[in-house]
Structure 1
Amino acid sequence: MEFGWTAQQQKYRERVQQALKDLLPDDWYSKYVPESYASDANIAYSRIFCAGLADRGLLVSHWPRAYGGEESEDWEQFILAEEMKGAGEPRGGQYMNVNWIGPTLMRYGSPAQQAEHLPRMARGDTVWCQGFSEPGAGTDLAALRTKAERRGDHYVINGSKIWTSYARQADFCFLLARTGAGRKEISIFLVPMTTPGITVTSFPGLTKDGHLNEVFFTDVEVPESARVGEEGAGWQIITHALSFERVGVPRYHVGLEIISLATEVLKAEGRYDDPVIQSRAGMLVANFEAARLLTYRVVDQRVKREPPNTISNVARIASLSAVNDLMNFLMDFLPDCLCGGHPLLEEYYRINVPAGITAGTYELQLDLIATRGLELPRG
């Protein structure tokens, strides 16, 4: 059986690689990448970069033509994601537009919402943030307390969100808010970040500037037309959206590049002949390759329009386990590189500290595999 890329897919990858060479500034790796792709400078640059990708027909080629795409197979989305992640993600937060916000609006958005938002996403000139987690509702989104109270033809929103990457520069927020007393009576709103009553407060952390923000909503008024789908139907919509997000980050691709970089450093220092280091490095490669194949299985299901299942959760667990093992490898054998000795290795470590929390925790993925995949009883 042939597991390689088709000639058309390889040609698309080469087009993406050439676009990176043409569009990235000379100081991209020395200036922008160390700041993280959520920094103000990187988000501002993402508007230029994504517009360049769009001009080349690369940003949303897998989208339907009606929304600015070319109806190519979903494989191209993942080829694009691999190359972008390997280059330090110059799309910034716009990867969310491409991966899941846009497709979610195609399925659940009103014609007016689609007309307003999808063309801007396809042009690469809009930045979104996601208003999911709260101080008391991280993994358990059903426990969120931000409330949207209906008053005639509009809603008044009060509450707060936390860990909201890109919020300082975002144009819109994909916001979850409670609209009823029931545990899952949640609705989704498309909220302009310039709406009166919204304030953003940043705070420092290991993941660097731009990723950690708290967003406060104080008597924020939005029209009924800002709601996605029926009132209280947000749970079904967000479950659909998260099925895209949980495999949307190709951690396996950049992980393999970091292993290669780490082994180059160890060889330069004359330490790679240690059999323990060689064995650990070999296991890392095997684990990331397993994560790659599991992720490709999810993409294959999507291409064939098969219903989502727990393979996406298994793929995420495989990726997170490999990432954790690689972080331990760096700490065990190259600790100096994490203290200014090598910026790319340090950045990889920093950005992956919260990897087991974002888009559903490691433990939550295991729980979903147990209950939905293995059909084990709760408790």
Structure 2
Amino acid sequence: MEFELGEQAEALRTRLRELLAEMLPENWAGPFSDDERVRAVADRVCQRLARERLLTIDWPAEYGGAGASVWEQTVLREEMWAHLEPRGAQYMGLSWVGPTIMRFGTEEQRREHLPPIAGGRVVWCQGFSEPEAGSDLGSLSLGATRDGDGWLLSGQKIWTSYAPIADWCFLAARTARAEGAKTHGVTIFLVPMDRPGVTVRPIDSMLGVLHLNELYFDGARVTGADVLGTVDHGWEVIKFVLGHERIGIPRYARDDRLLAELSGLDGAGGGAFGLELVRALVHARLARLLSYRAVARREAGTLTDREASTARMAAIQLDQEVASLALNALGPNGIAPSGGGELLGHAEDIYRYARSATIASGTIEIQRMLVARALTSEETT
């Protein structure tokens, strides 16, 4: 399989690097901060990209995109992640909320939600995980109880990244008790975060601000207009979301930049460190190729859990490997950085963030189980 991305994709990569060099402040550390000045940078980047129809480049023109190829979209994602995700919390809406609404939404929902996402003007959060339902999402219990022509939401979500600054929540709730498969009876609601009965409580963690939050629903009311897809059959929507989410973050792109900076350190070419560096470089190429295979399969409509989860496992393990290598190479300077490269100066923050890589979007154990099931199924057919 050939993965040359072509002249258009490479021209786009050059253009994106020019834009980011122009727009990002010196020593940009990423957007996940409660500092209004940092968030303002992310807003400006998103709106500038939107004006040039780059923010949602592979969306149809009618929804604010440019009708570009999935490979141009892949380049966009690579450059954003390699530059510490200057789109900020908006990447969630861009990567999978928008495509999911495009796939399952009514015409009214598309008209309401897609233009603000494509215009870089809205932040979404994901209401999936619960204290007793993380990777086993079919066990979720946040309830939606019938109330006239709508439902009343009651229960708790946890993790819920960016909830304090989100405008909307993509919420999974239980509208019926599971009979047989526990994934039955789940419904997806699109809920505005300022609706009465919705409360956010931040959780302090090693990840820093915005990443972990509790989200409480105490009688918040939703109606049929808030339902995405079909009542009780939200698992079909969730599977579509996870297929996008698991290959939506090209972690290998930032790791490639980190490895390039590590290669320039004194003594990088020899000894144990040199061997670890070469091993990580090989793993980075492998993660990229596995991701490209998954993207190609999704474009062809043949993507399965095996390809998506294999690509994700390679990427998340690489993330932790490279972050540990960087921190070990820098020694004390990694804890209190004193320069040494655009990304190496943030090695400690990258290391902390990478700790969650093998948990988010389904733990690595879940990914292994999905691959094993797929392989077992192939052997019996």
**TM-score normalised by structure 1 residue count:** 0.92
Greater mean deviation of Cα atoms: 336-345 or 188-197: 336-345
5 Å matches for 1:1-379? Answer: 3-24=3-24, 26-27=25-26, 29-30=27-28, 32-33=29-30, 36-37=31-32, 39=34, 41=36, 42-182=38-178, 183-184=182-183, 185-264=185-264, 266-267=265-266, 271-341=267-337, 343-375=345-377
Q: For 1:177-210, what per-residue CA distance to the aligned partner results, in whole angstroms no more than 9, with x for missing partners?
A: 1111102211100000000111111121111111
Residues 170 and 191 in structure 2, CA contact (< 8 A), matched pair in contact too: yes
User: Which residue in the other structure is 2:342 paired with?
Assistant: none
The 2-side partners of 1:287 and 1:315 are apart by: 12
CA distance change for structure 1 residues 372 and 332 in 2, over 3 Å: closer, same or farther?
Answer: same
- Provide the rounded CA distance (Å) in 1 between the counterparts of 2:245 and 2:45: 22
Secondary structure in 1 aligned to 2:309? Answer: helix
Q: Which stretch has the larger CA shift, 367-376 or 47-56?
A: 367-376
Deviation sequence 1:220-241 (CA, Å, 0-9, x none): 0112210111111111111011
Deviant stretches of 4+, over 6 Å: none
Report the Cα distance in structure 2 between the residues aligned to 1:335 and 1:143, rounded to whole angstroms: 43
Cα separation, 2, equivalents of 1:373 and 1:223: 41
Residues 64-85 of structure 1 deviation map (CA, whole Å, 9 limit, x = unaligned) = 1221112111111111111111
TM-superposition CA deviations, 1:243-288 (whole Å, max 9, x none) = 0000111111101111222343x41xxx435421101100000001
Tell me the alpha carbon deviations over residues 301-321 of structure 1, each in whole angstroms, 9 at most, x when there is no partner. Answer: 223333434111101111122
| Letter in structure 2 aligned against 1:344 | H
2:270 and 2:10 mapped to 1: Cα distance? 36
Deviations 1:57-108 (CA, angstroms, capped at 9, x unpaired): 1101100122111211111111111111111111112111121111111110
Give the distance between the partners of 1:331 and 1:169, measured in 2 at CA. Answer: 31
**What does the per-residue CA deviation read over 1:343-377, in whole Å, with 9 as the maximum and x for residues that have no partner?**
41112101111000111110000000001233399
Deviates more, 1:87-96 or 1:333-342: 333-342
Partner SS state of residue 356, structure 1: coil
> Post-superposition shift, 1:335?
3.5
Alignment gaps of 5+ in structure 1: none
**Paired AA for residue 124 in structure 1:** G
CA 1:317/1:135 → structure 2, altered by over 3 Å: closer, same or farther? same
The farther-off stretch of 340-349 and 288-297 is 340-349
Do 2:263 and 2:269's aligned partners in 1 also have CA atoms closer than 8 Å? no
CA distance in 2, matches of 1:40, 1:155: 37
| TM-score normalised by the chain length of structure 2 | 0.92
Given that 1:73 and 1:303 are in contact with CA atoms closer than 8 Å, whether structure 2 keeps it comes out as no
SS at 1:296 equivalent: helix
CA distance in 2, matches of 1:43, 1:239: 31
Per mean C-alpha deviation after superposition, the further-off stretch among 40-49 and 348-357 is 40-49
Aligned partner of residue 222 in structure 1, secondary structure: strand
Contact residue 290 and residue 310 of structure 2 kept, 8 A: yes
Displacement after TM superposition at 1:38 (Å):
5.5
What is the aligned residue count?
368
Alpha-carbon displacement from aligned partner over 1:1-55 (angstroms, at most 9, x marks no partner): 864331111111112112212332x34x35x53xx52545344443322111100
Question: For the residues of structure 2 that align with 1:171 and 1:376, how far apart are their CA atoms?
Answer: 43
Q: Relative to structure 1, is the Cα distance of residues 290 and 146 closer, same or farther in structure 2, using a 3 angstrom cutoff?
A: same
Say which is worse superposed, 327-336 or 189-198, in terms of deviation: 327-336
**What secondary structure sits across from 1:121 in the alignment?**
helix
* Code of the aligned partner of 1:225: A
2:10 and 2:376 map into 1 onto residues whose CA distance is 37
